[in-house]
């Protein structure tokens, strides 16, 4: 189904879908206007070495997926999916907690800036686990609440920002617990944006971090976590 999309029943909050439909152009433009930040985040995701047949859960406009070899992208926003389609990605409009995809059909699942917009993260992670092949990789990229960036974005959300007001950011510790509860074991962590939201941005080489070094992880605005599930059946 190259460059086409279908839909399945959507159970994520309609408000999320409508917001990203309405502001898809603004969302997409942000990455070109903040290229140094975008590239730093992209390099951290690439450091996790996604491989094989790759699915992006919460693909958005495809700015990351198109550079990571993603074959299929899932999102609730039809407008964003159209932008992903134009970037060469097969797209499906669906709830990230009910993927209309066969079990054990992907080597890697990627999800970037998505868990903060999902109302049942555990369901999303369980679905990611289901569609992964044995020995597959799950790559999660997020802004964590314990970073300077997460705190600023959270504050902007409370002030009514069109995107951040719909988001619930998690600390690194909370993220680790959610992954563990879904049988994922962390294999590597990379951090970037080792500067604050008010600082002059620069393109950074990602820093490999120890998964249990919580203090070091919190220094970085963006983290990419690679994990596997030993209990996939």
Angle ∠(22,25,31) on CA atoms, nearest 5: 135
* pLDDT over 80 (residue 233): no
Query: Where are the extended beta strands (E) located within 48-129?
Result: 54-57, 72-75, 90-93, 106-112
Q: Cβ(56)–Cβ(89) under 8 Å?
A: yes
Q: What is the mean pLDDT of residues 57-67?
A: 97
pTM of the model: 0.91
* pLDDT > 70 fraction of the chain, expressed in percent and rounded: 93
Write out pLDDT tens, residues 5-59: 444 333 445 778 888 888 899 999 999 999 999 999 999 999 999 999 999 999 9
Least confident among 6-15, 88-97, 217-226: 6-15
What residue has token string 């491989």?
A: 51
Q: Cβ(54)–Cβ(90) under 8 Å?
A: no
Q: What is the pLDDT of residue 229?
A: 82
Least confident among 130-134, 163-167, 229-233: 229-233
Write out pLDDT tens, residues 115-162: 999 988 999 999 999 999 998 999 999 999 999 999 999 999 999 998
Average pLDDT, the chain: 91
* pLDDT > 90 fraction of the chain, expressed in percent and rounded: 82
Please state, in angstroms and rounded to a whole number, the distance separating the CA atoms of residues 196 and 78.
Answer: 33
Enumerate residues 6+ apart whose C-beta is below 8 A from 79: 20, 21, 22, 24
* pLDDT over 70 (residue 101): yes
* pLDDT over 70 (residue 187): yes
Q: What is the pLDDT of residue 23?
A: 87
At residue 149, what are phi and psi to the nearest 5 degrees? -65, -45
């Amino acid at each position: 189904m190259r460059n086409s999309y279908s839909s399945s029943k959507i159970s994520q909050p309609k408000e999320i879908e409508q917001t990203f439909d309405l502001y898809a152009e603004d969302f997409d433009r942000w990455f070109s206007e903040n290229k140094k930040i975008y590239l730093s985040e992209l390099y951290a995701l690439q450091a996790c070495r996604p491989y094989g047949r790759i699915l992006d859960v919460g693909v958005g406009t495809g700015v990351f997926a198109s550079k990571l070899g993603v074959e299929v992208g899932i999102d609730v926003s039809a407008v964003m999916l159209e932008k992903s389609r134009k970037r060469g990605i097969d797209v499906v409009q669906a709830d990230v907690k009910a993927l209309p995809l066969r079990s054990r059909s992907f080597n890697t699942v990627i999800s970037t800036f998505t868990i903060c917009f999902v109302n049942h993260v555990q369901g999303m992670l369980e679905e990611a686990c289901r569609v992964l092949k044995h020995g597959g990789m799950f790559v999660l990229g997020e802004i964590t609440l314990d970073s300077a960036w997460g705190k600023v974005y959270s504050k902007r959300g409370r002030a009514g920002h069109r995107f951040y007001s719909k988001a619930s950011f998690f600390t690194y510790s909370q993220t680790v617990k959610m992954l563990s509860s879904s049988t994922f074991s962390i294999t590597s962590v990379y951090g970037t944006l080792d500067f604050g939201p008010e600082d002059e941005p620069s393109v950074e080489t990602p820093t490999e971090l120890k998964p249990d070094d919580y203090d070091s992880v919190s220094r970085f605005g963006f983290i990419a976590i690679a994990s596997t599930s030993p209990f996939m059946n």
